[in-house]
Structure 1
Amino acid sequence: MFKYPSVRTFTSQTQPQSKKILEGYRIIDASRILVGAFGSMMLADMGAEVIKIEQPGMGDETRKWGPPFRGKDSTYFISINRNKKSITLDLKSEEGLKILNGLVSKADIFMTNFVPNQRSKLQIDYQDFQTINPKLIYASVQGFPQKSIWENKAAFDLTIQAMSGQMHCTGDPDGSPFKVGYAVTDILTGMTLLQGILGAIIHRERTGEGQFINTSLLEANLFSLSYVVSSWLNGQTEYNRMGNSHPNIAPYSVYRTKDQDFIVIGVATDSQFEKLCSIIKMEVRDEYKSNSLRCKHRTQLNAEIDSILIRDWIKVDLIKAMTEKAIPFSEIKSVKQLLEEPEIASMGMTGRVNTDKYATNERQYLEYPKNPLHFSRSELSELKEPPLLGENTDEILRELLGYNQEEIQNLRSKGVI
């Protein structure tokens, strides 16, 4: 296995730095759907070799989560599986487990989102791999905290948003609770797991020790609610649904203009509020003198601002005036509208990779949001298209584990791969 020099002795004068921070690390990703895939994609972006374990025949469930599709796979799957390899493997078979053990013996990190009783049943728990690879970093995730009464209970992004308090404070106060418009729990949990993996890598480089890392959707989501949770734990105050308003800042909401368009205005300081009032010709009355007073009179304040904007301001004029006074604001855009803005396009936040596997008559490329990390002395991986189901099976078995073609064909005929 690849081993970087200890971080305690490394200096740029004595040892050249790798172009990619995780170059040389190998990840075996046996997770399915979104949480693990998002985390392993970030690792692949930083240069790690990621081998994705998929079920023969079906593959990762997200391959079918469409429309829209490109070729046989959904754009959902394509979004989180770039820069990876795919091997199909029946983990329930004796030969499949033997292959997985072989891969784990040559890996730095193993990832899974099987619940504890499934990991135990499949013989893929941390204890099962420790003797094979004592330096292995084993990263696992499930819906609820491990060692809790619900550790084996099924969970999805939506159910955790509902349970964690997130939906309770999201939505119209007079209407239904809303989930966040994308799978925010899964993404946040994937990032949390990624942080644990990077921390464990540092620990291993210092001590030579592998370890077990675990988190859950509920823990990660509750942790991300931050000041919402603190409001109850430390202030005995619950956050309730407030639509687009903020419980601690005012004015901070969505407003309508004279031409029946929407604009977001967020004012966090007294000086910003005074500037806003000078623009829209609104009196700074005593009940609006401080943020705490503005929060107390939020309903009245929002109604007054809305009334003035609907009566006096078209959006383009308001944007110009607020830009000149440095008031925080934004139009409400779709992803399409955002990425078609010339100013946004000039920022280079997306990248293309040519593709034969996912080509259409109109497009012979895939396009991605680039990894948002920027390093002064390291590169990110060049974008590569996701693997087709089992695309790298033969290559991995042959090159990593030494199987010959006859053995590979025999495994395929048995349905192991």
Structure 2
Amino acid sequence: MTPLDSLVRERITDGLKMLDGVRVLDLTSSIAGPYGTQLLADLGASVTKIEKVEGGDDTRGWGPPFLDGASLWYLSVNRNKESVTLDIQRPEGRAILDELIGSSDVFVVNLVQRAQQRLGIDAGQLRAKHPHLIHVSLTGFGLSGAHADLPCYDLIAEGYSGIMDLTGEAHGGPQKVGTPAADLLAGQDLALATLAALYERKSTGRGRSVDVSMVASAVRFMAPRIVPFMGSGQRVTRSGGRDSVLAVYQVFDTADEPITLGLGNDAIWRRFWSAVGRDGYGNSDAYASNEKRREAREQIVEVIAHMLRTQPRAHWLALFAEHRIPAGPINRIDQVIDDPCLQDRNMFYAVEGARGWVPQVGLGIRFDGKGGVHRRAPPTLGEDTERVLRQRLGMSEACVAGLKDAGIV
């Protein structure tokens, strides 16, 4: 018995159609690029995923855990796509790629500039042939600069951007975020930039060359920490489950399980003390502003910590919800999946794929009250090769068979 067995079974639907008619050719692998193109696919774009004939996307080998032989990492970022295997290093494969590019609106690649130029798929060469094309590159450090040729993974970007330096306990070492944050941030930027370029093309008829850097996306994520440093010169250090700006914004222990508590403004500060029956703290001039509370932070935190340890988590969360005080549990993954509020938003479901049921995390964005995006399960390797070659490029059955026998597709 696994969590998959209890998930809601989602059937094939039309999904969202806001990007219906937009064709995306996806030459990316791993997490960042595929996550970005999945977002476009969820919004209705037709995404064709080009994969290596042998092995396919790198994430197909990431495991365990596997589900019916498929990597669950791969399954997390590749729904609503079709998979075509193609050896683009060989002339016949490259010719097929050129045909697919010519009939696409967006071409996405996660190779460094030098590799793109060697293969003839950089923005300069492709947009000279196809002025309408939106060419999107997602790399570790961007297409130019001293580090442009360096490889990069999420771990590298999190360290380079300062995320790791500010993550973890004050007296511990730097920590990586518990999810591939830099990958997902860059993937979101990929989708955002593509949408902007598509919107502009409606009036100009011309595409764009988009350069997304994992490190730059991660650095922008750090703006609320970097800007205060640049303006003050005060170096920020790790603070664990506490915040260095707000006086009370951290993890507290209760009689059983910990909670998060954020007293982010003066009104919430007063409501908190009213809720716990100690209005004197809330109305005291000594604590009337966050600046004053920061000066007395150690004393305040000690009082709150002592009080919260007297009752279990459920008691405090119910009380704080009643008084609209920002607080919450620190959920494990299994508790997140079981959360009724998230289940009501259809955040977790299973879809039927070629090898059985596959777990998925929903888009989480609703349009006119609806949030269902499922059109098809993540594809098996090369699942759509023959259909795409025959239907989209008009190849004969004999021609496709010859390409398969030669190992080109």
TM-score, normalized by length of structure 1? 0.89
Distance 1:289 1:131 in 2: 63
CA deviation string 1:181-212 (max 9, x = no partner): 10010101111111110011011111101121
Show the counterpart of 1:291: 290
- For residue 408 of structure 1, the aligned residue among 400, 404, 409 is 400
| Distance (whole Å) between structure 2 residues aligned to residue 227 and residue 273 of structure 1 | 22
The 3 A distance-change label for structure 1 pair 116 and 19 is closer
**After TM superposition, where is structure 1 displaced by more than 4 Å over at least 4 residues in a row?**
377-381
Deviation digits for residues 17-50 of structure 1 (CA, Å, limit 9, x no counterpart): x971111111100011111101111111111110
1:50-199, aligned counterparts within 5 Å? 50-199=47-196
What do residues 91-133 of structure 1 show as CA deviations (whole Å, max 9, x unaligned)?
Answer: 2111111110010011110000101111111111112222432
Give the one of 265, 273, 276 matched to 1:277: 273
Shift of 1:287: 4.6
Q: Which moved more, 1:273-282 or 1:161-170?
A: 273-282
Task: Please give the alpha-carbon distance, in whole angstroms, between the structure 1 residues aligned to 2:181 and 2:362.
Answer: 18
What is the aligned partner in structure 2 of residue 268 from structure 1? 264
Segments of 5+ residues of structure 1 without an aligned counterpart are 1-17, 360-364
Q: 1:348 aligns with which of 346, 349, 360?
A: 346
For 2:166 and 2:194, locate their aligned partners in 1 and report how far apart those are by CA, in whole Å: 31
Q: Is the 8 A contact 1:20 1:379 kept in 2?
A: no
Deviation, 1:316, is: 2.3
The range that moved more, 219-228 or 104-113, is 219-228
* Contact 1:66–1:75 under 8 Å retained in 2: yes
Q: Which residue of structure 1 aligns with residue 12 of structure 2?
A: none
Corresponding residue to 1:335 among 320, 325, 333: 333
Structure 2 counterpart SS, 1:352: strand
Which SS does the other structure have where 1:80 is aligned? coil
Deviations, residues 362-395 of structure 1 (Å, cap 9, x unaligned):
xxx2232222222239986433111110111111
Q: Distance in 2 between matches of 1:300 and 1:307?
A: 11
Cα distance in 2 for residues equivalent to 1:93 and 1:203: 35
Q: Does the Cα contact within 8 Å between 2:21 and 2:46 map onto a contact in 1? A: yes
SS in 1 for 2:407: coil
Equivalent-residue separation in structure 2 for 1:347 and 1:377 (angstroms)? 10
CA distance in 2, matches of 1:380, 1:289: 46
Which region of structure 1 is more displaced relative to structure 2, 113-122 or 379-388? 379-388
Does structure 1 residue 201 correspond to structure 2 residue 198?
yes
Gaps of 5+ in 2: 1-14
Matched positions, count: 392
Q: 1:383 to 1:401 in 2, by over 3 A?
A: closer
Q: Which amino acid aligns with 1:393?
A: T
> Residue in 2 aligned with 1:47?
44
What do you get for the CA RMSD once the two structures are aligned? 2.0
Secondary structure of the equivalent of 1:180?
coil
**Aligned letter for 2:400?**
I
Specify whether residues 378 and 208 from structure 1 end up closer, same or farther in structure 2 by C-alpha distance, changes over 3 A only. farther
Q: Pick one of 329, 351, 361 that aligns with 1:369.
A: 361
| Alpha-carbon distance, 1:320 to partner | 2.4
For residues 386-414 of structure 1, the C-alpha deviation after alignment (integer angstroms, 9 at most, x for no partner) is 11101111111111122222222222222
Q: Distance in 2 between matches of 1:101 and 1:380?
A: 34
1:170-249 alignment runs, 5 A limit: 170-249=167-246
Compared CA separation, residues 320 and 400, structure 1 to 2 (3 A): closer
Equivalent residue letter for 2:265: T
Q: Residues 380 and 306 from structure 1, CA distance in 2 versus in 1: closer, same or farther, beyond 3 angstroms?
A: closer
Partner of residue 25, structure 2: 28
For the 8 Å contact 1:53–1:88, the answer to whether it is kept is yes
Aligned to 1:7: none
Q: Quick check: 1:391 aligned with 2:388?
A: no
Q: Is the contact made by 2:345 and 2:364 (CA closer than 8 Å) also made in structure 1? A: no
State the Cα deviation string for residues 55-91 of structure 1 (Å, max 9, x = none).
0111001011112211221111011100100111112
Change (3 A) 1:408 1:347: closer
The Cα of 1:252 is off from its aligned counterpart by: 0.7
Q: What's the TM-score, normalizing by structure 2?
A: 0.91
CA contact (8 A) 2:25 2:50 kept: yes
In the superposition, relative to structure 1, how do residues 379 and 346 fare at CA in structure 2: closer, same or farther (>3 Å)?
A: closer
Given that residues 21 and 378 in structure 1 are in contact (C-alpha distance below 8 angstroms), is that contact kept between their aligned partners in structure 2? Answer: no
> In structure 2, what is the Cα distance between the partners aligned to 1:240 and 1:385?
43
